[in-house]
Amino acid sequence: MQVKDAFLWVNKDEQLHKIKLKDVYYFEAVEKKVFLYTKDEVFEIKEKLYQLEEKYKDTQYIRVSKSVILNIEKIELISPTFNGRLIVKLKNDEKISISRNYVRNLKNQLGMEE
């Protein structure tokens, strides 16, 4: 899939918005709802996290916790924290915690040494 050309249609305030996939920073599941985050907007979407993970498995989107799928192109800084976890700072200054179970997958995707 070519991410640079892909887009999603999302509902917000009873209007459909066309969001370029490359502009998505991450997807997050919160209380049985899934949200899409861009640089400065949040949209609720209908897809489930597992559906998004499957749909975008061969792209720059990877699962980094039970509740987050992250666009690795938006990572600016990675910091280790306690218990083998990582914190990533995104280009919009948001911080996302990487669960210990997903650290290896992230490092592999980024081509980092263990």
Q: Helix or strand or coil: residue 10?
A: strand
For residue 12 the two structure tokens come to: 């917000």
For residue 99, what is the DSSP state? P
Residue whose token pair is 């920073």: 25
At position 87, the amino acid (one-letter code) is I
Residue 51: the pLDDT is 96
Amino acid at 100: R
**What is the DSSP annotation of 38-93?**
-SS-EEEESS-HHHHHHHTTTTTEEEEETTEEEEGGGEEEEEE-GGG-EEEEETTS
CA distance 53 to 83: 25
Mean of per-residue pLDDT scores for the chain: 91
User: Domain with 38 in it: what CATH number?
Assistant: 2.40.50.1020
Q: For 43-69, write each residue's pLDDT tens digit.
A: 999 999 999 999 998 899 999 999 999
Residue carrying structure tokens 């995104």 = 90
The answer on pLDDT for 41 being more than 60 is yes
Cβ(72)–Cβ(64) under 8 Å?
no
- Look up the domain containing 88 and give its range: 3-110
Is the Cβ–Cβ distance between 34 and 49 less than 8 Å? yes
Q: What is the pLDDT of residues 82-111, one digit of tens each?
A: 888 999 999 999 999 999 999 999 999 998
Count structural domains, the chain: 1
> What local confidence, expressed as pLDDT, does residue 32 receive?
92
